[in-house]
Every structure is written in C-alpha cells, then in structure tokens.
Amino acid sequence: MKKFLPIILTTTVLLTGGQTMAQSESNATEEQAKQVIFGFGELNPYGKYFTGKSYLKPITTTNGVPMYNVTFEPKCRNNWHIHHKGGQILLVTQGRGYYQEWGKPAQELHPGDVVNIPPETKHWHGAAKDSWFTHIAVEVPAKDGSNEWLERVSDEEYNKLK
C-alpha cells in the first residue's frame, strides 16, 4: 500500500484578508502534487478548455454533490468560464495559484483558502507560474446547471501575475 508524507503548507489567510504571504511560501513541486490528499488522478478530459496540463480525480460523484480534485501544473489555468444556475466552491489544498473574476484583480490562493464562485460569474482559476496547485472543486447542485467555456486567459494577462 502506498503511503507518503507530503508537507502541506497551510495558512490562515482568508480571501477577504490581506495577501501578505511571500509569493513562494506555499509553492508545491510535481512530486508533492502527485501525492496530494484526495488524489492526483488522470490527465483532465476537459483539457481543451485549459492552457497547459491539468489532472482530474473524482472524489465523489454520488450522493448529490459532485466533487473533484483538480491539479494544475505551473502556468496552467482554465479558460474564462461561467457556471450557470449553480456555482462552484474551491477548497485549496496544496500549492499556489490564482482566482480571478472578470473586471477584478486576480486573488492569490494558498492552502486553506476557500473560494465561493457564484453562478453567472465569469472567472478563471489556475496555478502560479512557479508552483503546482491543487484545489477541490465542489459543484453546487442546480436544476439544469451548465458550464459555459469562453476565451483563454492570454499570456499577456497571465504574465502580469507573480
């Protein structure tokens, strides 16, 4: 049986609080990413909506609240997208990354951060340029819910981030 001892950097930083953590303090390596709690999974079948490689591990798909572990390699991010009807909740478990809503500055994410993505909100999320990044994605159930995938996050936009 495989056992491992990843060191997970955690923080009490809240998204509503100041983001004063030094940028590299929660960075994660590929080795840590592959051993992340709740699993690394397989190459993401939704890869065409991502820039770079990401990995998807279903955590539970029964019982009404689907949850997935999503791991992004450094620089990987998903396209701008909108969850219709039901939102999504992100629970950051490892590494350093970003969440950005359209028209707002990107928010740096660290382990322990929680993001409530309301429905009908254009946004993206993904890794920092020098860190692997993993979050649990919890789908908020909604009748006739759907995802609308939009344009890529351009290198110009992304490269402004630390």
| Shortest CB 151 distance to its own copies, Å | 25
| Shortest CB 124 distance to its own copies, Å | 18
Contacting residue, 47, 82, 107, 140, with its own copies by CB under 8 A: 140
Contact assessment for residue 90 and residue 125, using Cβ atoms and an 8 Å cutoff: yes
Q: Does 10 bind its own copies (CB under 8 A)?
A: yes
| Shortest CB 108 distance to its own copies, Å | 13
- Among residue numbers 43 through 62, which ones bind its own copies (CB under 8 A)? 59-60, 62
| 19 burial level (CB within 10 Å; 0-12, 13-18, 19+) | middle
Contacts of 9 by beta carbon, 8 Å cutoff, 6+ apart: 25, 26, 28, 94, 110, 111
Structure tokens at 153: 């996050």
Task: State which residue, 89 or 150, has the beta carbon closest to its own copies.
Answer: 89
Q: Does 18 bind its own copies (CB under 8 A)?
A: yes
Structure tokens at 20: 């004063």
Q: Does 147 bind its own copies (CB under 8 A)?
A: no
Contacting residue, 41, 97, 111, 126, with its own copies by CB under 8 A: 111
d(CA 69, CA 113): 15
Contact assessment for residue 135 and residue 32, using Cβ atoms and an 8 Å cutoff: no
Q: Does 74 bind its own copies (CB under 8 A)?
A: no
Contact assessment for residue 57 and residue 68, using Cβ atoms and an 8 Å cutoff: yes
Residues near its own copies, by CB under 8 A:
1-13, 18, 20-21, 25, 35-39, 59-60, 62-65, 67, 86-87, 89, 91, 93, 111-112, 114, 116-118, 136, 138, 140-142
